[in-house]
Amino acid sequence: MNSFKLSGIAIAAGGVFLIIVNAVFTPMLALDVPFPEMMASKTFLWRLSLAALTVFLLMIGSPGLYAYQSGRAGLFGKIAFGLTFLGCALVFAHEWAQVFFMHSMAVVAPDALQAMDDVEGMSIFNIEGLIVLTTFTLGWIAFAASMLIAKVFARPGPALVIAGFFAIPLLTAVTSVKWGGALGNAVLGSGFILLGRELFKNPAGAK
């Protein structure tokens, strides 16, 4: 199968799983219980596992997005892709560690996890999460912007990706963590689905 088609499948599937994770599993989380209890739940484990799968799909599909527009992307597009791939790799590592370490700690040593969460100020764990989220977010916003500049992809896909990253915090502020995240990620996921669909439907590459 053409590599663009495979990348398209990965990106579109990542978008679908992103919507499912945040529309189905995130609203099921019990946010009113202690942090370790939430992380020890089966629902949270499923959410973490699917989130790791989601970002893995986006990571392996992103080189196809770059290759599709590489002839017109320029230096900005190259840097944006590099930041995007790094951000995906960091998020995948973060989610992987939470699946196989943080969840287990929440089950067998909840007091230790609670003590780590109760540290005043920014702990190393919080700093790591901030670095991961910032790199992933800025990378995809810049990468989507490079797509708009290159004018290879149809505008709705990259535009929805950019809009999604802004919609998540805005909708969370006016609704709730659960539903704001679900609606914002629906916008973001739709952008990924459109980008993946374009790669799959036009595997010959950009003209």
- Give the pLDDT of residue 126: 82
- Give the pLDDT of residue 118: 75
21-44 average pLDDT score? 86
Considering the domain boundaries, does residue 134 fall inside one? Answer: yes
- pTM of the entire predicted model: 0.91
Q: Report pLDDT digits (tens) over 63-122.
A: 999 999 988 989 999 999 999 999 999 999 999 988 888 888 888 888 877 887 777 777
Backbone angles phi, psi at 152, to 5 degrees: -95, -45
Residues contacting 45, CB < 8 A, separation 6+: 99, 103
Considering the domain boundaries, does residue 206 fall inside one? Answer: no
Considering the domain boundaries, does residue 207 fall inside one? Answer: no
- How many domains would you assign to the chain? 1
Three-class secondary structure of residue 121 per DSSP: coil
pLDDT tier, 207 (very low <50, low <70, confident <90, very high otherwise): very low
Q: What is the mean pLDDT of the chain?
A: 90
Q: Which domain holds residue 126?
A: 3-201
